[in-house]
Amino acid sequence: MSHAAAELKMTTAPAPRTRPNTGGRSSDALPAATLVQWLRDMMLIREFENRCAQAYQQAKIGGFCHLYTGQEAAAVGTIAATNPDDPIVTAYRDHGHALARGMDPGACMAEMFGKATGCAKGKGGSMHMFDKPHWLFGGHGIVGAQTALGTGLAFAARYEWEVLKRPLANPGVTGATPAKKKVCLTYLGDGALNQGVLHESMNLAGLWDIPVIYIVENNGYSMGTAIARGTTMAHDLTKKAEAYGMRGEIIDGFDVIDLYDAFKPLVDWCRENQKPAFVDLKTYRYLGHSMSDPQKYRTKDEVEQFKSKDSIDRMAHVLMNERKNKDSTPVLSEQAFTDLQTSIKEQVRHAMEFAENSPVPDASELHTDVYLNPMPNLSPTAEYRHGAKNPLL
Amino acid sequence: MPRTEAMIKQGLTLVDAINEALYQEMERDTRVVCLGEDVGLNGGVFRVTEGLQKVFGPERVIDTPLSESGIMGTSIGLAMAGMRPVPEIQFEGFLGPAFDQLVNHAARYRNRSRGSITVPMTVRVPWGGGIHAPELHSDSPEAIYAHTPGLKVVIPSTPYDAKGLLLSAIRDPDPVVFFEPKRVYRSHREQIPEEAYTIPIGEAKVVAEGTDVTIVSWGACVHTCNEALDHLPEDVSAELIDLRTISPLDAEAIVRSVEKTGRCVVVHEAPKTAGFGAEIATIVQERSFLHLKAPVQRVAGFDVMMPYYKLEGQYLPDAKRVEEAVMQCLAY
Ligand SMILES: Cc1ncc(C[n+]2csc(CCOP(=O)(O)OP(=O)(O)O)c2C)c(N)n1
Ligand SMILES: [Mg+2]
């Protein structure tokens, strides 16, 4: 991997190695409970998506539905490396990011059911998970469009720290806690590599040293198009980063611990030096692109091969066999694992029930949240509801 | 920027007024940043942001590369995080590359997130024809953006309105497309208050009062209409309304006037078909049908591309066409 272009700009901070040769791996310092929590988060996403698929087939979920199954380690491992107030944006395959960031599964499911209790009050749907308290600025339905927004969110974070010297969240409060250095994670699919807006965004980020990390969740396909059929230099995407003067890393997204160990130093470096980066995160989606996909573009064998590297199985194996407590018992016992499975099933069942039993949005919601102040003169339909002046009616 | 001798003596142009508004708002609110192609060092293609970078520094008056989609998207991200970005797109035709960001994203966040994430951004765009520029540098695409719920569309025609409306736009909690009529940029000077003031978005202005016919217009065409008023016969009393904002539309002001005069002529630069005049004609017939003494007339650009400058005068509505439409309406 070459960092030639990035190195030209890096006069002060040396590039970190993905594997520091002293001091061990970042994850070594983490308590076992954190690793168990990652496993739990990945299992929660898997179970959640399974139940989504069922609900979709029962026509309880409308719109479109893109499942994250197979990619769980990507969201969990990268988000684990951030602070809770680092902003993130993603594309439409967004349930995993929402859950990994801490969104209540009930609010997430209710959103897909179009219910008033959804995270966007049932108006956004599967592609539009928003959770401002958790600094999740949404899923996005236009492939690639979110890359510019992430660039802007990161720009704002830098402005806050460098120019305002106070958090934007409290406008008008001077002398409040100085803003801290933040990094914005901006996720995109490999299909978005071919959208112009990504290249404009990367150019701006490289030019202005914006602390944004573009994470390509490279699952090898955009709908039915294999990456090499749509993208130049698919065998080494870091070249694209190099062209924009930013660090680029290829990270294996199948082992969540490895992923974290490779990604955490990069986030820390971007935060400390307020610089952008680009990650080609290798992952794989097990299911079709959306709920109706003939999958002519790949073989069953290929899918099975990737499933044999399943990140959840792997993590469970590590925690139940390799990671040991001081008394050399495994950090996750058979019993604890079974309990985990049961509690997740229970949690997702609750989320489903919550979504089922929640009310649909009131019809008046149709006219809200278009502008801060409703403007009835904008909408003749609203006028008709209240009795039009039209003498023919 | 602080006023020059010429400005104090002769008044402010539209350019001066917008510059003054930006200067005052940037001074008042550190969340306001201007960004766009050459807005800093060079002061913008029309010199609207002249001098601001010297005062506020390159971190608040930001020269961007040629990157409309990136400028718009980055501005949306800034606004989502709580800033007050004021991007400039050099000419209305260049909104094309930024269209996705503006229409599919900026306009929709409040709704998509049910009010939790909003985009308080003001997109400044030089707009309209009449300066001998080619197409893409002379178009009037306001109807497209007025047709986008979630966006506000403001088009001032005077320095006074431009300053007050721009300050309102920057302080507005929702995204505003602020179209600046290029033809008026330096054509008029006006004495306007030096202190900051706001004009509510969504309020039309009665420029001239009258009883026989209502002329509705916005942007540079307001001045064309004013000229036409001078040429109308003495006994014709025309009311001229400058909408100032087309979204939200001050339908009440139109209806009130038409119910008084019984006649309506709409004047705009954009092509006639599906232009914003069609919306006004429809509102008038929906709401004031029995008051009408004549069909609503539209004086508009033709359904062609904005021509190159030798034919510009043939395309743009002029005072004569307005006058004819008014007389036809009266004779109906
Ligand atoms: C601008 C745009 N063009 C086309 C689509 C239709 N579309 C939705 S997802 C998709 C494939 C995207 O693939 P990728 O970016 O790799 O993400 P993945 O589905 O693999 O997560 C396409 C073509 C769209 N949503 N937006
Ligand atoms: Mg893909």
CATH code, domain carrying B128:
3.40.50.970
Q: Considering only CB atoms, which chain B residues are within 8 Å of A198?
A: none
Decide the pairing of beta strands A225-226 and A221-222: antiparallel
Number of domains into which chain B is organized: 2
Residues B154, B17 share a domain: yes
- Which of these, B317, B215, B311, B204, lies nearest to B271 by C-alpha position? B317
State whether B117 and A137 contact (CB < 8 Å): yes
Residues B9, B158 share a domain: yes
pLDDT at B94 over 60: yes
Residues B169, B25 share a domain: yes
Decide the pairing of beta strands A88-89 and B213-217: unpaired
Structural domain span for residue B147: 5-184
Pocket test for ligand 1, best of A140, A194, A222 (most atoms within 8 A of CB): A222
Q: Which residue has the higher pLDDT, B1 or A116?
A: A116
Residues B122, B77 share a domain: yes
> Tell me, what's the pLDDT at A166?
85
Within-domain flag for B241: yes
Residues B161, B12 share a domain: yes
Residues B225, B312 share a domain: yes
Structure confidence by residue, pLDDT tens digits, B152-177: 999 999 999 999 999 999 999 999 99
> Tell me, what's the pLDDT at A174?
52
Output the domain CATH number for residue B243.
3.40.50.920
The rounded distance, in Å, linking the Cα atoms of B123 and B179 is 8
Spell A210-238 as b/e; 16+ CB within 10 A means b: bbbbbbbbbbbbbeeeebeeebeebeebb
pLDDT tens digit at each of 393 positions of chain A: 333 333 333 333 444 444 444 457 889 889 999 999 999 999 999 999 999 999 999 999 988 899 999 999 999 999 999 999 999 999 999 999 999 999 999 999 999 999 999 998 887 889 999 999 999 999 999 999 999 999 999 999 999 999 998 888 654 455 556 789 999 999 999 999 999 999 999 999 999 999 999 999 999 999 999 999 999 999 999 999 999 999 999 999 999 999 999 999 999 999 999 999 999 999 999 999 988 889 999 999 999 999 999 999 999 999 999 999 999 999 999 999 999 999 999 999 999 999 999 999 888 787 788 888 766 544 444 443 333 343 333
Q: Which residue has the higher pLDDT, B277 or A62?
A: B277
> Tell me, what's the pLDDT at A379?
42
Within-domain flag for B30: yes
Residue B168 touches partner A, C-beta closer than 8 Å? no
Residues B19, B148 share a domain: yes
> Tell me, what's the pLDDT at A10?
33
Which residues are bridge partners to B37 per DSSP?
B64
**Looking at B184, B217, B251, which one is the last position of a domain?**
B184
> Tell me, what's the pLDDT at A384?
39
Residues B210, B180 share a domain: no
Residue partners of A253: CB distance under 8 A and separation at least 6: A71, A73, A74, A77, A217, A218, A259, A281, A282, A283, A311
Structure confidence by residue, pLDDT tens digits, B183-237: 999 999 999 999 999 999 999 999 999 999 999 999 999 999 999 999 999 999 9
**Looking at B184, B215, B231, which one is the last position of a domain?**
B184
Q: Please report, to the nearest 10 degrees, the dihedral formed by the alpha carbons of residues B207, B209, B215, B218 taken in order.
A: 10
Residues B254, B223 share a domain: yes
Residues B221, B168 share a domain: no
pLDDT at B42 over 50: yes
State whether A163 and B60 contact (CB < 8 Å): yes
Residues B165, B34 share a domain: yes
Question: A4-11+25-361 architecture in CATH?
Answer: 3-Layer(aba) Sandwich (3.40)
Residue of minimum CA distance from atom 25 in ligand 1: A142
DSSP helix/strand/coil, A250: strand
Residues B222, B292 share a domain: yes
Within-domain flag for B118: yes
